[in-house]
Amino acid sequence: MRLELDVGNTRTKWRLCDDYSVFESGLDLMGELAMEPWWVTVVGLVWVSSVHRELDEQILSVFPKAQFANSQVSHKGLSNSYQDAHKMGVDRWLAMLAVWHEEPDRPHIVIDAGTALTLDVIDEFGRHVGGYICPGFKMMKTSLLGGTKRVLAEDSWQLGRALGNNTQSCVDHGIQDMVACWLEHHRALQPNAKIWVTGGDGERLVSLLSSRVAFEADLVLDGLKIYFS
């Protein structure tokens, strides 16, 4: 029995699994542990992707033998473009490992739509060409509303990209159209690349696009298995 953790900036995704099946999963590990779930005592391995170091000690207090992944110079045919590979967020590295393992020898664009919005490009030789780190949907909206006095909008979102005819739709559609146009621009630059989307806002991003992309909710967790195999 194995526990896999994707510790992000705002949530900790987890799944309890073996090499064949997923038994339980969730988005709030600490909340789950507070209820003393049955599986804590039977977990044999704990694999962790973490970009939230403050939670690492909490995880180790419950699972002292937890193993933490780190970004690498190269692994299984994928190479890192960072001069200091360990400075790349491990979630980005694991997501790229997952897609390269799934479909090697072709270019890929990997987008993680979470608290931050990241985009990484892999060429057909498995080389990470480079990437971007930008504010995510919610961060853009919070920044806009917090930095203006007369732009008022609800926290909820109106899905769409059309020109807005009230402040709410102007804000929501404007942010969503900007992100979608950005992705479509990179698709045009890499027409042979397969587009992969993951992250908490990934489904929303996919719904904004007219062309097909691959949405995989657990790319980071999938990458953990490649990393530790």
Residues labelled catalytic: 91
Does residue 205 contact residue 138 with C-beta atoms inside 8 Å? no
98, 223 contact by CB (below 8 A): yes
C-beta of residue 129 within 8 angstroms of C-beta of residue 122: yes
Give, for 116, the enclosing helix (H) or strand (E).
strand 116-122
SS3 99: helix
Q: Which amino acid is at 171?
A: V
Residue 42: C-alpha distances to residues 10, 15, 54 (Å):
27, 14, 25
